[in-house]
Structure 1
Amino acid sequence: MPIKKIRKRDGRIVDFDPNRIKDAIHRAFIAVELEDGEKAEAITKEVVKLLEERFKRKIPSVEDAQDAVIEVLRKKGYGRVAEEYEAYRREKAEIRRLRKRLGIEEPKLTVNALKVLRERYLLKNEKGEIIETPAQMFMRVAKAIARVDRKYGGDPRESREKFYRMMARLEFLPNSPTLFNAGTRLGQLSACFVLPVEDSLKSIFKAVMNMALIEQSGGGVGFDFSKLRPKGDIVKSTKGVASGPVSFMRVFDVATDVIKAGGKRRGAMMGVLRVDHPDIIEFITAKQKPGVLSNFNISVAIPDEFMEKVKNNEDYWLINPRNNEKVKRLNAREVWNLIAESAWKSGDPGVIFIDEVNRHNPTPAIGRIEATNPCGEQPLLPYESCNLGSINLSRMVEDGEINWEKLRETVRNAVHFLDNVIDANKFPLKEIERMTKANRKIGLGVMGFADMLIKLGIPYNSEKALSLAEHLMKFITEEARKKSVELGEERGPFPNFDKSVWKDKYHAMRNATVTTIAPTGSISIIAGCSSGIEPLFAISFIRNVLGGKRLFEINPLFELVAKERGFYNAKLLEEVAKTGSV
């Protein structure tokens, strides 16, 4: 007898639709093999047949149907697909329980978010067993960061609830090291660091050791290698010749290879070299060879003078940093074209317009900025660190409009949270603690911008989107600065305030910087939103993450629209996952 009805988890009886079973099976096949729509069709027929045999006189439940799917998959020899299906089923059940506890509404904590949290974020005991839930993780972080309020005469309980609520609702998330380490013995909470590298073997290997300590705790590091003497230059102490910056960068690269950052993610570095360094051509082309400097992003530091020479098609001098002697002339436009060609071939190098960066340096009297963190969004002084956090913009849209009051409140709470992180932090080096606490830089950014546009019905590549982005970031920056000024008046300004560009504009300011736009690779998975300010990478794709895990991603807003408009099916998802687009 054909199955006509099925019982849902809430007890409702609804029409039985075998296509829903087929889509779920197909998704499991896609996650394992990225194909096999025909196999999903055949398995579905077997499952329906099995249900018809077993439920001749009563209505099957959703769980009965899922049990039948696993049974048939195993019987047909698709063990891996059965495991994927069963794991997805378990995770969905856990998410339903979490949703009740956290009060998270649609779009809710996703299966892939739960996978990433389990793999890398949730605390584990000595046996590697997970000992906290996502809710407990958010509370662990909220408690550790709110505790700082007591130092300034505030009430940690009130802040703890605010911090917990905005993380649990996925409205704001701090950078990964804060989620990893807050409330633990390690306690290192920053993501971004810059370390100096001077022209001596002692300085170089001190930087390697310091880098190892930072990466071990989950941070990423930027370096400027421009002070190192060029390849083939004289080394007086040994009467030998220098290896040059690119060779020494390989030492940093190999060291990073054996240190998985924080034991939870791959270490990452930024390597910077000035365009007038004698080894600049070797540096520009270094990553065209597969596997070379694979843990580095590299960027060429470019001053205004060089760009003028590019514009005028003139030559410029390469300068030996050891003695400031001119060693060779190159054509600026040819070097610029080589940078572009190499970036096209390998993705590297990027460029840092270093004079422009320093025009926006908030503490020029303290020092000149020479490098950034690994992804380039946070310029920092030597020995400086910064902790980041991002607001999920998709959560700021309600009934097709931006809730500006909610956004204002989230910005204010986020600045409070990030300022507290500086005091809660256990820094890996004393020099870093001194410099970080002297400037108290924080980086509040955004994620879910593309999702926000989708909810607002605005095309990403439109003038309207550009105009909204400008208005949005002006609002966030102004509100973040207002909150930093308030904190500066309540708690005292950052110690270098009187040597900063802010001293003539404000009575006090707590943080030398307040905003930065980070890529949010991992935390956007947890938040279930598009990363940073990027457009959607694809509406459906397979994501490879640390540890060899494959995550089948589908944009939840696309899935919602596809279901509402009646064109959702797994075959479509398979085709989209292969190409990334409809």
Structure 2
Amino acid sequence: MEKIRKRDGRIVAFDSAKITLAIQKVILAVREKNGDLARKISRQVVEALEDKFKDRIPGVEDVQDIVEEILIRNGCAKVAKAYILYRQKRTEVREAKKLLGVEKDELKLSVNAIRVLERRYLLKDEEGNIIETPAGMVKRMAKAVASVDKKYGGDVKKTEEKFYRMMAGLEFLPNTPTLMNAGTDLGQLSACFVLPVEDSLKDIFGALTNMSLVHQSGGGTGFSFSKLRPRGDVVKSTKGVASGPVSFMRIFDQATEVIKQGGKRRGANMGILRADHPDIIEFITSKQKEGFLDNFNISVGVTDEFMKAVEDDREYDLINPRTRKAMGKLRAKDVFDLIVTMAWRSGDPGLVFLDEINRKHPIAHVGTIESTNPCGEVPLLPYESCNLGSINLSRMVKDSEIDWEKLRKTVIAGVHFLDNVIDANRYPLKEIDKITKDNRKIGLGVMGLAEMFAKLKIPYDSKDAIETAEKVMEFIRDESVKKSVELGEKRGSFPNFKSSMWEKDYKAMRNATVNTVAPTGTISIIANTSSGIEPIFALSFVRNVMGTQLL
């Protein structure tokens, strides 16, 4: 037996090892003793095929029919039943994909993944008909991002193939805008942006316009509203009174609501207000009203001074950002308790430790960080953007052990990919283009941690899990830095490298930051794994993604 016909009509080389592996998986699934049974059944299947298909090429279904017959003939009723049920389930999956408009799925994705791709990612014509397959989407990304290698004298075809294999194998996936926009006319590939909001009507509505452009292209935005004068403060030009930052946040929220109606991706914002802003109580309690600021995550920007006041149980000053003068005092512990209470009730606000972030910022000489991206994992300077990608840790396990060499290769390819994205990107604003290329921040992270633990037979809530996670993340960080140093030596360091923290230990560094851990909400669905570093919170649940119900 030399050839076999695939379901899509392609004729490929026959490989009996695939039959053996499939039988072995079913035997293990029903906890039967294996021994040499899988190979024995496989040999009999091949003999039956050679006898039945002497003058013609069998199809995949023909092979599977004979596997069923041989299993039953050998008295393996339990294994045969499991195999039949597996075939039925795979048939249902294929039919579901056809109903969703995907006739050809070389990546063997889950139905949920296909639903998400069909709704948001696969390219469509003007009538809304899907015009690319999931594999076509991956090829589109790989080609667009790999093309950057030409600029640096690299082998574009080799890089394209490497990127394709990595993503087609669901070992790594980039953030949503790269999936949607790579290789298209829009070409905006970053997920995370921070935009400044200054204390004038012109600047506030300028930031609103900039937010709209970022959201339209699939990005999310973070803001600090701490520079806006408090409610009731004087407005010199009109002799009126200011309405305060929370009222302006409502305008940003409503604009996001309108833009997301026609978009591929739900608009998302982070709103931050310093703990010493006079309107901090209104801000902390703002989301207790249902439907208010639905398109915002909010966080209180806390300083060392505030946290020390909480520890010492004393009052602290509220500072008017316009005059820089104290406007009153609050008991720090009362404010902290209110933050905790509101977070328990509504999930907001979070805490952003501003002084600590700026202490650890590798390029503190460039500017002060005031905000993060919508989910809080990427602190950024004003106008800065960052592109993210995540390694699927569940695919880094082989024979119940971590495949460190595969993980190392995936990290190296992931850093290469994300650095290329910076050059392949078309930024919505010239200010974003400049500072992003000056700092070249990337965020390589992970997803599938909980599934990896399951494959390693490690309880998620165990000491062993913590130690394993630390070992994995340290390995990823070290390999990421090595690759960024190598790229810095070959392609040049990021322009603001001089006087950065990296300059103390390295002669070159391509990226100001290399790692972060993102929630990976949608890309983990595509990869059919657990989200980010989160536990698997239920065996079965319903989730809504842009109006698409997923099981």
TM-score bracket, shorter-length normalisation: 0.7 to 0.9
Aligned to 1:10: 64
Contact 1:218 1:261 in 2 (8 A): no
Contact 1:9 1:62 in 2 (8 A): no
Shift of 1:505: 1.1
Q: TM-score, normalised to structure 1's length? A: 0.80
User: Which secondary structure does the structure 2 equivalent of 1:362 belong to?
Assistant: coil
Please say if 1:551 is aligned against 2:550: yes
Residues 449 and 234 of structure 1, relative CA distance in 2, 3 Å threshold: same
Aligned to 1:54: none
User: Which secondary structure does the structure 1 equivalent of 2:498 belong to?
Assistant: helix
2:455 and 2:124 map into 1 onto residues whose CA distance is 37
* Letter of the 2:64 counterpart: D
Contact 1:299 1:348 in 2 (8 A): yes
Please say if 1:169 is aligned against 2:223: no
Aligned to 2:529: 529
Residues 211 and 89 of structure 1, relative CA distance in 2, 3 Å threshold: closer
Aligned to 2:329: 329
Residues 319 and 455 of structure 1, relative CA distance in 2, 3 Å threshold: same
Aligned to 2:96: 88
Contact 1:544 1:550 in 2 (8 A): yes
1:544 and 1:479 map into 2 onto residues whose CA distance is 36
Alignment of 1:297-446 (within 5 A): 297-446=297-446
Shift of 1:21: 13
Query: What CA deviation, in whole Å up to 9, does each residue of 1:115-141 have, x standing for no partner?
Result: 111111100011100000010100000
Query: What CA deviation, in whole Å up to 9, does each residue of 1:192-226 have, x standing for no partner?
Result: 00000000000000000000000000000000000
* Letter of the 1:10 counterpart: Q
Aligned to 2:6: none
Aligned to 2:195: 195
* Letter of the 1:88 counterpart: A
User: Which secondary structure does the structure 2 equivalent of 1:193 belong to?
Assistant: strand
Contact 2:97 2:114 in 1 (8 A): no
Aligned to 2:51: none
Contact 1:286 1:292 in 2 (8 A): yes
Shift of 1:93: 11
* Letter of the 1:178 counterpart: T
2:242 and 2:446 map into 1 onto residues whose CA distance is 44
Aligned to 2:289: 289
Shift of 1:518: 0.2
Contact 1:190 1:219 in 2 (8 A): yes
User: Which secondary structure does the structure 1 equivalent of 2:541 belong to?
Assistant: strand
Query: What CA deviation, in whole Å up to 9, does each residue of 1:219-264 have, x standing for no partner?
Result: 0000000000000000000000001000000000000001128821
Aligned to 1:144: 144
1:312 and 1:373 map into 2 onto residues whose CA distance is 32
Aligned to 1:510: 510
User: Which secondary structure does the structure 2 equivalent of 1:328 belong to?
Assistant: strand
* Letter of the 2:151 counterpart: K
Contact 2:357 2:379 in 1 (8 A): yes
Contact 2:313 2:332 in 1 (8 A): yes
Contact 1:215 1:262 in 2 (8 A): no
Shift of 1:316: 0.5
Query: What CA deviation, in whole Å up to 9, does each residue of 1:57-84 have, x standing for no partner?
Result: xxxx969x98xxxxxxxxxxxxxxxxx9
Shift of 1:90: 3.6
Residues 483 and 62 of structure 1, relative CA distance in 2, 3 Å threshold: closer
2:440 and 2:113 map into 1 onto residues whose CA distance is 31
Shift of 1:362: 1.0
* Letter of the 1:535 counterpart: P
Shift of 1:499: 2.9
Please say if 1:213 is aligned against 2:213: yes
* Letter of the 1:125 counterpart: D
1:262 and 1:499 map into 2 onto residues whose CA distance is 44
User: Which secondary structure does the structure 1 equivalent of 2:507 belong to?
Assistant: coil
Which blocks of at least 5 consecutive residues in structure 2 are unaligned? 1-60
Aligned to 1:32: none
Aligned to 2:448: 448
Shift of 1:92: 10
Aligned to 2:243: 243
Contact 1:8 1:62 in 2 (8 A): no
Instruction: Give the total of aligned pairs.
Output: 483
Shift of 1:89: 6.8
Q: TM-score, normalised to structure 2's length? A: 0.84
Shift of 1:85: 9.0
1:86 and 1:508 map into 2 onto residues whose CA distance is 50
Residues 409 and 241 of structure 1, relative CA distance in 2, 3 Å threshold: same
Contact 1:181 1:189 in 2 (8 A): yes
Contact 1:195 1:221 in 2 (8 A): yes
1:228 and 1:313 map into 2 onto residues whose CA distance is 28
Query: What CA deviation, in whole Å up to 9, does each residue of 1:144-197 have, x standing for no partner?
Result: 000000000111001000000000000000000000000000000000000000
Shift of 1:492: 0.3
Aligned to 1:71: none
User: Which secondary structure does the structure 1 equivalent of 2:246 belong to?
Assistant: helix
Contact 2:101 2:130 in 1 (8 A): no
Which blocks of at least 5 consecutive residues in structure 1 are unaligned? 1-6, 25-60, 67-83, 103-107, 553-582
Alignment of 1:118-133 (within 5 A): 118-133=118-133
1:201 and 1:513 map into 2 onto residues whose CA distance is 34
1:85 and 1:174 map into 2 onto residues whose CA distance is 25
Residues 463 and 202 of structure 1, relative CA distance in 2, 3 Å threshold: same
Aligned residues with identical type, % of pairs: 64
User: Which secondary structure does the structure 1 equivalent of 2:389 belong to?
Assistant: strand
